[in-house]
A = this chain, B = another copy of it.
């Protein structure tokens, strides 16, 4: 299924790493994006062996980031942990390490300071990532996650941050997080001009959305104009796989993995 990648969070309740890969391969899917806990469960070496053996494309490794901390030791620990994530991503041959940058540390109400810590943290990590030839993909998250997950919340903000950081860093553009943005189209075009697009994540925004975290929709079940989004991303010069990332506690995580993957393929063919 050329052009389609499965973020393994989409089937995290159904499969471990190896079984998820088998299920993808059985339906012709040869690109994946695993999470650190999934790799840790099977072991990095075995995960890398499976990737290499099957010639899989790893469209991203989830995830680094979470930089803001209440003290310098916490920030240093975050950077160390991100270096390990870079190593793991490199061992898997991932296209990029996805950064969910983190929100407000502790009881802080200072989002401006948190954003400063994010910039400092990525800057501190970047030489290591460059030496490993592992691109860092800043993922702007939906503003409803600004407090607790990521204080980078628009593509414009992420690209501004990239511009200050220089080479070796780019963006992961997820339709779920960015579809609402009135500046989305020009900022996608800018991301292309500045050669920052590292990943394109898809799912859908459901109406109503019943949970802030675990109610993402399957492509076609929500309100995102996915074909327009894809056209903009491709016009901006990114032609990598679209990576399906669906957190769905009450729906897709409860279904057989094979059916979920089959639906991803069908929807990818028809609505993306």
Contact = CB atoms under 8 A, between A and B. Distances in A.
Interface of A: 104, 108-111, 115, 142-144, 146-148, 151-154, 156-157, 179-182, 205, 207-210, 212, 222-225
Given A148-B207, A208-B148, A212-B212, A180 B143 contact: yes
A154 to B, nearest CB: 6
A182 B140 CA distance: 12
Given A144-B142, A146-B180, A212-B212, A109 B224 contact: yes
Given A143-B181, A147-B205, 18 more contacts: A104-B223, A108-B223, A109-B223, A110-B225, A111-B225, A115-B182, A142-B144, A143-B180, A144-B144, A144-B209, A146-B179, A147-B223, A148-B207, A151-B180, A152-B182, A153-B181, A209-B212, A210-B212
A144 B143 contact: yes
A208 B143 CA distance: 14
A225 B143 contact: no
Contacts of A179: 111, 146
Given A109-B225, A143-B142, A180 B153 contact: yes
Nearest to A108: B223
A182 B153 CA distance: 8
A122 to B, nearest CB: 15
B143 A157 contact: no
Contacts of A205: 147
Contacts of A222: 147
Nearest to A271: B109
Nearest to A226: B109
A247 to B, nearest CB: 15
A225 to B, nearest CB: 4
Most chain B Cβ neighbours within 10 Å, of A109, A111, A148: A109
Nearest to A115: B182
Question: Closest 3 A-B residue pairs measured CB to CB?
Answer: A146-B180, A143-B180, A109-B225
